Each structure stands twice: as structure tokens, then as C-alpha cells.
Amino acid sequence: MAKGPGADQGKADEPTQLAREIEETRDRLAGTIDELLYRAHPKTIVSREVADIKGFFVNPATGEPRTENILKIAGGVVGVIALFMLVRKVAR
């Protein structure tokens, strides 16, 4: 089997290429860890939840309140208060 002039060059590049791949992998992992730390930060979680709740009560496209959802929640609160008052009255 005859070796060409570039055969030895390929072996010399392997450690350099491997080191470059390791460095790229390390950089990707560092970026992934940073992203996970950001997502798991309590302030980030709170802001995400607040945005979800606002999205439930306000239409994000128009900025107008979603009256059907507001009325559902208000009705539930009134119902729970009425139930507590009824239980309290019966318990006397």
C-alpha cells in the first residue's frame, strides 16, 4: 500500500481537530448550562408565570381584557364566598 504525500498530514491534524471539537463541545455545554440557570432562576419563573396569568385575562393581540375569563373567575369567587357564608350560617 503506497502512502501519498498527504497521508502523514492527516495524522498530524487529528489531535488539532480533536482539540478543536472538544473546545466547541465545551462552549456548547457552557451555553446550555447558562440557559438552564437562566430558566431556573426564580425571577425568570415568576415573570413567566405573571405573563401567563396576564395572557389569561388580557388578549395579547389587542390588549383588551378577556371579559369571559374575568367573569368566570369573579363568579367562582362569589360562589366560594356564598358557600362559606352558608356553611357559617348553618354551623351556628
74 with 47, same domain: the answer is: no
**Structural domain boundaries enclosing 37:** 12-57
49 with 75, same domain: the answer is: no
Q: Is residue 20 part of a domain?
A: yes
Q: What's the structural domain count of the chain? A: 2
53 with 78, same domain: the answer is: no
Quote the pTM value: 0.51
Select from 75, 43, 48, 70 the least CA-distant residue to 59: 70
Residue given cell 352558608 in the structure block: 86
pLDDT in tens, 10-45: 566 888 999 999 999 999 999 999 999 999 999 999
73 with 37, same domain: the answer is: no
Query: Which contacts of 61-68 are long-range, i.e. CB under 8 A and separated by 24 or more positions?
Result: none
The overall average pLDDT reported for the chain is 88
Residue given cell 413567566 in the structure block: 48
82 with 49, same domain: the answer is: no
The end-to-end CA distance of the chain, in Å, is 102
Distance, in Å, from the CA atom of 41 to the CA atom of 47, rounded to the nearest integer, reads 10
26 with 53, same domain: the answer is: yes
pLDDT band of residue 8 (cuts 50, 70, 90) is low
pLDDT band of residue 61 (cuts 50, 70, 90) is confident
